[in-house]
Amino acid sequence: MGLPHFAKGEVIKGFGRGSKELGCPTANFPMDVVHNLPADLDTGVYFGFASVDRGEVHKMVMSIGWNPFYKNDVKSMETHILNTYDEDFYGKELRVAMLGFLRQERNFKSLDELIGAIQGDIRQAREKLDEPDFIKYKTHPFFKE
């Protein structure tokens, strides 16, 4: 399924829903990065590692697709880094290593159901990224080159 996939680009402003509505701030890639995804990569939720401006590498989950709950008409890559930051990092370079697939993109009946799914995705990602097949990517040269 085109994994692992490495991507980097400047963080841009997204839809403004992650922190406010979902309690899950996201860093968004520009369209040129989205367009460079492998053709065989399904929409859905992925897990891996991320770094901002070649800093510390953290676990992440990423949604790729049109977010049917919000009826987006533009495909996006929205990365939630499993770390707390004191400030936004718009304009900084985000590097991600997408390592595994969690679930297909789908619609939800309510905002609470969507938030519950996101929290489940985060729990799964935390666990999976401690496995030997994945943890080795935390020190991959891609994050420092």
Residue closest to 45 by CA, chosen among 90, 108, 91: 108
Mean pLDDT of 91-105: 96
Model pLDDT, residue 115: 87
Q: Please, are residues 41 and 1 in contact by the beta-carbon 8 Å criterion? A: yes
User: Where along the chain do its domains lie?
Assistant: 5-134
Amino acid at 17: R
Amino acid at 41: L
Q: Which tokens belong to 60? A: 């992440």
At 7 the three-state DSSP class reads strand
Amino acid at 8: K
Mean pLDDT of 125-132: 97
Rg from Cα positions in the chain: 14
Give me the CATH topology for the region 5-134. Elongation Factor Tu (Ef-tu); domain 3 (2.40.30)
The β-bridge relationship of strands 93-104 and 5-10 is antiparallel
Q: What are the catalytic residues?
A: 78
What percentage of the chain exceeds 90 in pLDDT? Answer: 67
Phi/psi of residue 5, each to 5°?
-125, 130
Model pLDDT, residue 88: 85
Mean pLDDT of 107-115: 85
Q: What is the pLDDT of residues 10-65, one digit of tens each?
A: 999 876 655 556 778 889 999 999 999 998 899 999 999 999 999 999 999 999 98
